[in-house]
Structure 1
Amino acid sequence: MDVSRTRALRLLAPLAALALLTACSDSGSAGKSDASTKQAAQAAVPASGNDLQSDYQKVIKDVLPSVVQIQASSDLGSGVVYDDKGHIVTNAHVVGDEKTFEVTTANSEDTLTAKLVYSYPEQDLAVIKLDKVPDGLKAAMFGDSAKVQVGQIVLAMGSPLGLSSSVTQGIVSATGRTVSEGGSDGSTGATIPNMIQTSAAINPGNSGGALVDLDGQVIGIPTLAAIDPNMGNSAAPGIGFAIPASMVRTVADQIIKDGKVTDSGRAALGITGRTVVDDEFKAAGVAVVEVKSGGAADQAGIEAGDVITRLGDTDITTITSLSEALAADKPGDRTSVTYTRNGDEKKTDVTLGEQ
């Protein structure tokens, strides 16, 4: 499976002062001035901590009213108020096959109703719309996820395990991750590129909520936690993933404007495929089950029954590895496909289509 610099300096300065005092205290000239200086330095440490705590509290006060709880008939998750017209963005797996939902906001116990606008499982995003927009509904501010940096402090807001308006804290652990979700039936779900990895705790119910920086901007939508197969497939602590804000805006804007996604930006071969195994029962490629007429594979001469083993320079062993390889490309990119047909290896150039 596949703070800002000024804030960091503010935290480090008191620690540097303490280190200097520790070195000076070894000399024989320690007196009242040293004691006073020590007291001042020690007092400075909690002050910096209080500054950071105030930052947290301000962000929570500003953003939490924009994070809602979404209840479908058989599932519960979170959502983020996208605009002042009652549109809420969430994960496609939160809405599932449902069309109507109950929504609870952070500053009210009243239950609101909402309807599905459109679900886009390929990117695990969906938009629902409140039937009636309550007074004071506040849209969240979405940031530029391209500016997200590893190590910056983030807060995850949502309803983990049904505990509404919960906040957890962590850092950005990595960016640019490509992650494949597990389907409810054990199959492979959406493969999502450029995800933000975070150490902020993400639990069931957090999905569709907000991953927020200390400027109060939503930089991502928490979507899933990593699974540790060595722990009975339970969630791996401190490894969660969020869909970047840039992709959220791209998809949500199209859904709100056109009622659907008209430009996914996701590359596709235009096939339906399945993983095949070799004589040792090891995954050995993707068998083409169906070829979309006029699609990229069709135009490149790939046929049903062919087994794809390589895309460009990437070995393909499973349908997941093919999805992840395609996630790194864009529609219109030209690459090569290596495949076998009736035992013979072949290679063809292909111009990727759009999913």
Structure 2
Amino acid sequence: MSSTVKVAPMETPARRTALAAAAAASLLLTATACSSSGSGGSGAKSSDAGSAAPAPSVSNDLQTDYQNTVKAVLPSIVQITAGSSLGTGIVYDNKGDIVTNAHVVGSATSFQVTLSDQSKTLTASLVYSYPTNDLAVIKLTNPPSGLKPAVFADSSKVEVGQIVLAMGNPLGLSSSVTQGIVSAVGRTVSEGKSQENPQGATIPNMVQTSAAINPGNSGGALVNLSNQVIGVNTLAALDSGEGGGQAPGIGFAIPASTVTNLADQMIKSGKVTDSGRAALGISTRTVITTGGDGKETGAGVVSVTSGGPADKAGLKAGDVITKLGDTTIDSSATLSEVLASEKPGQQVPVTYVRDGATKTATVTLGTLG
């Protein structure tokens, strides 16, 4: 099973506008302080008077590649305002469809979209939001001419060590770019619960990157130097130590092939018709021992979809799933992580406890809706 990392979405809606203003003020104060310390006769002097520090050596070819990629892709990056929340989106086609994260749109159905050149603020409406994979599509009400859709890469060709750029609107600082590398591929990550997704999203096959991803970057583009979007920036890892702050240099993006597959379905059908992800057809909650050490012991079945995979295999509400295949299940989150690595149509043994007795059923996995 893929390793799973504790992560958090990059938006906190109620604070986004305030954070943007604070960031702008902080930048202004920093610039002023630097300017003041560098002017006037009382400033510190170099011990090597009359000589300037040499400029750092930079590969002109690499620098040119960076600049060309920014020029080519940044026009496809937009800022999305959903109530008090600011996020990022990527122009998907010339019809006005824009792909972003489900947690960026939240529960909103109408949006303000600002193009990368800041020339226009346009209205948009929700096409569909799919919190299960933290993806959404919105559509401009009156798409302007000259929209520049992004080019999405083949995720199978993404390699560890590739140089990448993250483009978005961190803290409301529009059209910002950071750089890093692809740190890993095939990560399975789980984000916290939300109003839109009470059980939280577990997303497989994520691209891990060292490029800085900050609040407001969500829904933006992770781009290679061939001017292709390799993923949609979505999550940052949390430090599990004291304080639990954001872990620097560890961010995650939904791979491009997943994005195009799901976005095409949303645009064509107004929903996701085939997620390609396995499901049991149940809702669950984590079961914790009482009167003892409070240890998590399994995934308790809260409800079973009539006619679904679990129902057909004989599972019922009240059962506690303790194993899927050869993997021990100690919580709802663990069950989601294991299912994320399976495929619809597979037959797997499910071990569960009912009325104190341990039983096993073979379930043919269905498709996650």
Q: TM-score, normalised by structure 2?
A: 0.82
Match of 1:325 among 338, 341, 344: 338
Match of 1:294 among 307, 321, 345: 307
Aligned position for 2:270? 259
Whole-angstrom CA distance in 1 between matches of 2:127 and 2:150: 19
Aligned position for 2:251? 240
Shift of 1:108: 2.7
User: Which residue identity lines up with residue 214 of structure 1 in the other structure?
Assistant: L
Match of 2:89 among 72, 79, 83: 79
- Is 1:189 equivalent to 2:192 in the alignment? no
Between 175-184 and 85-94, the greater mean CA deviation after superposition:
175-184
Structure 2 residues without counterparts, runs of 5 or longer: 6-55
Whole-angstrom CA distance in 1 between matches of 2:247 and 2:118: 33
User: Which residue identity lines up with residue 282 of structure 2 in the other structure?
Assistant: I
Whole-angstrom CA distance in 2 between matches of 1:147 and 1:331: 24
Aligned position for 2:140? 130
The answer to whether the 8 Å contact 1:308/1:337 transfers is yes
Aligned position for 2:288? 277
- Is 1:312 equivalent to 2:325 in the alignment? yes
Query: What's the secondary structure of 1:161's corresponding residue?
Result: helix
Whole-angstrom CA distance in 2 between matches of 1:223 and 1:100: 21
Query: What's the secondary structure of 2:59's corresponding residue?
Result: helix
Which of structure 1's runs of 4+ aligned residues deviate more than 3 A? 184-188
The answer to whether the 8 Å contact 1:208/1:221 transfers is yes
Query: What's the secondary structure of 1:175's corresponding residue?
Result: strand
The answer to whether the 8 Å contact 1:180/1:188 transfers is no
Whole-angstrom CA distance in 1 between matches of 2:193 and 2:101: 14
The answer to whether the 8 Å contact 1:181/1:188 transfers is no
Structure with the bigger RCO (C-alpha within 8 Å, sep 6+) is 2
Residues 187 and 292 of structure 1: CA distance in aligned 2, closer, same or farther (over 3 Å): closer
Shift of 1:188: 4.5
Whole-angstrom CA distance in 2 between matches of 1:283 and 1:219: 37
Aligned position for 1:222? 233
Shift of 1:74: 2.4
Shift of 1:187: 6.0
Whole-angstrom CA distance in 2 between matches of 1:219 and 1:296: 34
Decide which structure has greater helix share. Answer: 1
Choose 1 or 2 for highest CA Rg: 1
Match of 2:279 among 243, 268, 276: 268
Query: What's the secondary structure of 1:84's corresponding residue?
Result: coil
Query: What's the secondary structure of 1:326's corresponding residue?
Result: helix
User: Which residue identity lines up with residue 296 of structure 2 in the other structure?
Assistant: A
Match of 1:349 among 352, 355, 362: 362
Query: What's the secondary structure of 1:134's corresponding residue?
Result: coil
Shift of 1:134: 1.6
CA displacement, residues 239-268 of structure 1 (integer Å, 9 cap, x when unaligned): 000000000000000011111111111111
The answer to whether the 8 Å contact 1:155/1:169 transfers is yes
Whole-angstrom CA distance in 1 between matches of 2:193 and 2:351: 28
Matches within 5 A, 1:146-225: 146-184=156-194, 188-225=199-236
Report percent identity of matched pairs: 65
User: Which residue identity lines up with residue 280 of structure 1 in the other structure?
Assistant: D
Whole-angstrom CA distance in 2 between matches of 1:277 and 1:120: 29
Aligned position for 2:18? none
Whole-angstrom CA distance in 2 between matches of 1:200 and 1:188: 28
Aligned length: 312
User: Which residue identity lines up with residue 189 of structure 2 in the other structure?
Assistant: V
Whole-angstrom CA distance in 2 between matches of 1:77 and 1:232: 25
Q: TM-score, normalised by structure 1?
A: 0.86
Whole-angstrom CA distance in 2 between matches of 1:125 and 1:233: 26
Whole-angstrom CA distance in 2 between matches of 1:54 and 1:326: 44
Query: What's the secondary structure of 1:189's corresponding residue?
Result: coil
Query: What's the secondary structure of 1:249's corresponding residue?
Result: helix
